[in-house]
Each structure stands twice: as structure tokens, then as C-alpha cells.
Amino acid sequence: MLLTMLSRKEKLKFMDLSLHMVAVDGAPSDLESRMLSMQIAEVGEGIALEYTFSLSQDRNETINFFKDSTVMVRNIVYLNLLRITMSDEFYNTVEHHLLEEVRDAFMIPIEKKRELMRVIYSERDLRERARRVCSR
């Protein structure tokens, strides 16, 4: 969501951070893999061809890359990390700790986190309503 607004370098670093997020609790679930595929499609074919799809050596370096980014970029990155963790039914403590580490590094207030989570819930509700309407 909104990943097209990131620069080329930001998209590449975001993909690194996404891989760290799905790998933090072991192998990615099917839903997490689907979310990654959707994000790859959103960042564009050029980025997908350029990206190596392997974890960067230093997760903190990847997080710190965004520290000096604009508030909008940090919010977009955090929003999409939230989407990954909320894509399946299991939101475990390891994911929570990584999200909090990122939130602290990005200086995102708790209220902004809640607001971003509401966006994700609204998106999920809309998708579910559309599914129900189409199934009748």
C-alpha cells in the first residue's frame, strides 16, 4: 500500500525489511508469502528484477536507513510491515518486538500506530464485504 511513492533505494530497503519481518518467526506462512508477492508487484518489475531476495546481514542497518527519511516514508514502510504481520491469524511476540523496534527507531507515536492499524482493518473489512457481495 503506497509503496509506489518510495524511491528506488527505499523500495529495495523496504523489501529487505519485509523479508526480515516474515523470517523473524521462522518460515513465512502462505499468507505472508502472498503479501510479499503483492508488495513485490507494487514496487514494480524493475525492483523485483534487481532485488536479490536474501536477508541483509544487518537488520539494524536496514532499519536505520529509514531513520532520516521523511515522516511519510517511515509511515508507509511501517504500515506495510503491519500489513504483513496482520495478514495471518498469528501475531506472535517476536513479530511484535520487531514492530516495536521499528516503531521506536522510526519515532512513530502509539496513536499513529493505532491509526495505521485501523487503516489495515478497514482494508480487510472492505475486502471481506466485497467477497460476500460477489458470492451472492
What are the cell numbers at 102?
A: 521499528
Domain ranges within the chain, ordered by starting residue: 3-135
Q: Which of the given ranges, 33-47, 50-64, 113-127, has the highest pLDDT on average?
A: 113-127
pLDDT of residue 44: 82
Domain 3-135 fold: TerB-like (1.10.3680)
Rg (CA), the chain: 15
pLDDT of residue 20: 87
Residue 45 reports pLDDT greater than 80: no
Residue 57 reports pLDDT greater than 80: no
Average pLDDT over residues 34-53: 77
Outline where 1-136 has alpha helix (H): 8-23, 30-43, 45-50, 59-65, 71-85, 93-106, 110-135
Q: Which of the given ranges, 16-25, 61-70, 83-92, has the highest pLDDT on average?
A: 61-70
> Which residue in 130, 124, 136, 115 sits closest to 31, CA to CA?
124
The torsion angles phi and psi of 70, rounded to 5 degrees, stand at -65, 160
Q: What is the band of 78 on the pLDDT scale with cuts at 50, 70, 90? A: very high
Q: What is the DSSP letter of 92?
A: -
Q: Which position has the grid cell 472492505? A: 126
What pLDDT, in 10s, does the model give residues 60-75? 899 999 999 999 999 9
pLDDT of residue 53: 60
Residues in the chain: 136
Please tell me the distance from the alpha carbon of residue 136 to that of residue 59, in angstroms, as a whole number: 46
Residue 91 reports pLDDT greater than 90: no
pLDDT of residue 42: 85
The larger pLDDT score, comparing residue 113 to residue 49, is at 113
